Amino acid sequence: RKEVEQDPGPFNVPEGATVAFNCTYSNSASQSFFWYRQDCRKEPKLLMSVYSSGNEDGRFTAQLNRASQYISLLIRDSKLSDSATYLCVVNTPGTYKYIFGTGTRLKVLA
């Protein structure tokens, strides 16, 4: 089993739709979780950190479910500009290593 797993997609959704991605992680001791956005072969950009209580930033909401070992990203009112690959990142506990998922591709259609 991979340490961090994501559905590669693509998720094709119409503008204005709500879409959700999940990311599962295998190490129950993991402590830090992030969502990054990556446009085609450009550098990943931090979208949001994921906190235990969940957090929201505008149209984006991130949740952590420790019992089931997954994090989620919800995007409301999708825009064409949201089309990108969304990367889940987990900090390996007890080390300084980061493990990236392979990403979920989102296409928002006009």
Partner 1 sequence: EAQVTQNPRYLITVTGKKLTVTCSQNMNHEYMSWYRQDPGLGLRQIYYSMNVEVTDKGDVPEGYKVSRKEKRNFPLILESPSPNQTSLYFCASSLEGFGTSSYNEQFFGPGTRLTVL
Residues that bind partner 1 (CB under 8 A): 31-32, 34, 41-46, 49, 87, 89, 91, 95-103
Whichever of 29 and 67 has its CB closer to partner 1, that residue is 29
| Least Å from the CB of residue 31 to partner 1 | 5
Q: What angle do CA 28, 63, 4 make, to 5 degrees?
A: 45
| Least Å from the CB of residue 48 to partner 1 | 9
What are 19's two structure tokens?
Answer: 């879409």
Alpha carbons 49 and 107: distance in angstroms, whole number: 22
| Least Å from the CB of residue 60 to partner 1 | 15
Going by the DSSP 8-state scheme, the letter that residue 95 receives in this structure is S
Contact 21, 6 (CB under 8 A): yes
Whichever of 20 and 46 has its CB closer to partner 1, that residue is 46
